[in-house]
Amino acid sequence: MTLGQKIAWDDTILPFQLDQSDIRGRVARLDGVLDGILKQHDYPPVVEALVAEMALLTALIGQTIKLRWKLSLQVQSKGPVRMIATDYYGPDSEGRAARIRAYASFDRDRLTDSAPFDQVGDGYFAVLIDQGEGTEPYQGITPIAGDGLSDCAEAYFAQSEQLPTRFSLSFGKSTEAGGSEHWRAGGVMLQHMPKASPFAQGGGSGEGGLLGAQDIVEGEELENWTRVNTLLDTVEELELIGPSVAPTDLLVRLFHEETPRVFDSQSVRFGCSCTEERVRNSLSIYSARDIEKMTTEEGTVTADCQFCGAHYVLDPKTLGFEAEGNSGDSG
């Protein structure tokens, strides 16, 4: 596809509800966010695709967290792609943009020419929510399952939250009129509204005994869930990515009989939380002898942010709990 300029609904998440079937969801479109994430690294195409998919899932899931909260998704695996980590920072205040960052670690010599998800081996998919100082972070973990990262996320919600959840995603490189190309991504998330007391117990009917929608809802609720999923199956990839279809138009196309109702959209941007002060704080637990071991031949201690590529060069005398004066508190 060819695009000449940024579109109004790029880098936004639109929450909605289908009143007829008691189902909620989000439509997300990412453009500049992915550029910000991926241009920091020289990832092979299969790794880029996995990071793009993970960032899109993070946007769709993260929109529900409260102001100043942090949502993190992680994949840890024994495959060529060892880890994918993403963070979603809730807005500082109403009306502000949320921030997303992401990175992957991988063994380049173990990567294959097969599909991106084939680079992920046995491992786990984790969701972490940090509500801020003075609170205990929440963490939920499920095994890697299915045929993609979206399947892993669906399995997480079924096991940890007992909420039937469905993702439909599309992502890839687009070409602008001038000839340059960049990543675009779009997707829809559906989720059955939670009930007071989930009834699913024991093993499920899914892969490895994991729970599925049919194990969590029944009767009319299952009929509604199946019907809405069938409607989502009709979506086209270009409709998801959305260069010519606004999120509201997409909802009408797919779910007009389900009485869709939209809420305020949330803008997102690429953003990292790393600072020199945080680097110093992370090194404050080390002794002068430990700091000396980290010191380069040039007489400095260096640190690189894996998310944004920021490079910090620090004076070893100002680091650790034995630092001279109070310089370690500056940043």
CATH assignment at residue 304: 3.90.1280
- CA 117, chain centre distance (Å): 16
pLDDT (tens place) for every residue of the chain, 331 residues total: 334 445 778 899 999 999 888 899 999 999 989 988 998 888 999 999 999 999 999 999 999 888 789 999 999 999 999 999 999 999 989 889 999 999 999 999 999 999 999 999 999 999 999 988 888 889 999 999 999 999 999 999 998 888 999 999 999 887 666 657 778 899 999 999 876 434 444 556 566 667 667 777 788 889 999 999 999 999 999 899 877 889 999 999 999 999 899 999 999 999 877 778 877 887 888 888 888 888 888 888 888 777 777 777 888 888 888 887 544 343 3
- Look at the alpha carbons of 145, 146, 151, 157 in this order and tell me if their dihedral is positive or negative: negative
Rounded CA gap, 239 and 235, in Å? 7
Q: Are residue 249 and residue 292 in the same domain, yes or no?
A: no
Q: Are residue 304 and residue 184 in the same domain, yes or no?
A: no
Angle between helices 45-62 and 149-156 (to 10 degrees): 30
- Three-state SS for 147? coil
CA distances from 142 to 108, 145, 160 (A): 26, 8, 8
- Look at the alpha carbons of 33, 77, 25, 130 in this order and tell me if their dihedral is positive or negative: negative
Residue 279, phi then psi, degrees to nearest 5:
-65, -45
Q: Are residue 89 and residue 188 in the same domain, yes or no?
A: yes
- Look at the alpha carbons of 89, 266, 188, 115 in this order and tell me if their dihedral is positive or negative: negative
Q: Are residue 281 and residue 304 in the same domain, yes or no?
A: yes
Q: Are residue 147 and residue 13 in the same domain, yes or no?
A: yes
- Show the tokens assigned to 9: 């609904």
Q: Are residue 225 and residue 302 in the same domain, yes or no?
A: no
Return the CA Rg of the chain. 22
Q: Are residue 181 and residue 144 in the same domain, yes or no?
A: yes
Q: Are residue 185 and residue 285 in the same domain, yes or no?
A: no
Rounded CA gap, 47 and 185, in Å? 15
Could you tell me where the beta strands, DSSP code E, fall in 177-232? 181-192
Rounded CA gap, 51 and 37, in Å? 9
3 part of a folded domain: no
Rounded CA gap, 205 and 203, in Å? 7
Stated as kind and residue range, the H or E segment containing 53 is helix 45-62
In terms of Cβ atoms closer than 10 Å to its own Cβ (0-12, 13-18, 19+), residue 17 is middle
Cβ-contact 171, 185 below 8 angstroms? yes
State the Cα angle at 11 between 44 and 24, rounded to 5°: 110
Final residue belonging to a domain, choices 227, 249, 270: 270
Rounded CA gap, 32 and 38, in Å? 10
Q: Are residue 283 and residue 181 in the same domain, yes or no?
A: no
2 part of a folded domain: no
Q: Are residue 205 and residue 282 in the same domain, yes or no?
A: no
pLDDT of residue 326: 46
152 part of a folded domain: yes
Look at strands 12-18 and 23-30 and give their pairing: antiparallel
Tell me which residue of 63, 52, 71 sits closest to 16, measured CA to CA.
Answer: 63
Number of domains making up the chain: 2
- What is the CATH number for 94? 3.55.30.10
**pLDDT tens, position by position, 225-278:** 999 999 999 999 989 987 788 999 999 999 999 989 999 999 999 987 777 887
Final residue belonging to a domain, choices 270, 294, 317: 270
1 part of a folded domain: no
* Beta bridge partner(s), residue 28: 13, 187
Domain region containing 318: 276-329
Q: Are residue 241 and residue 256 in the same domain, yes or no?
A: yes
Final residue belonging to a domain, choices 251, 270, 289: 270
Cβ-contact 55, 36 below 8 angstroms? no
Q: Are residue 133 and residue 149 in the same domain, yes or no?
A: yes
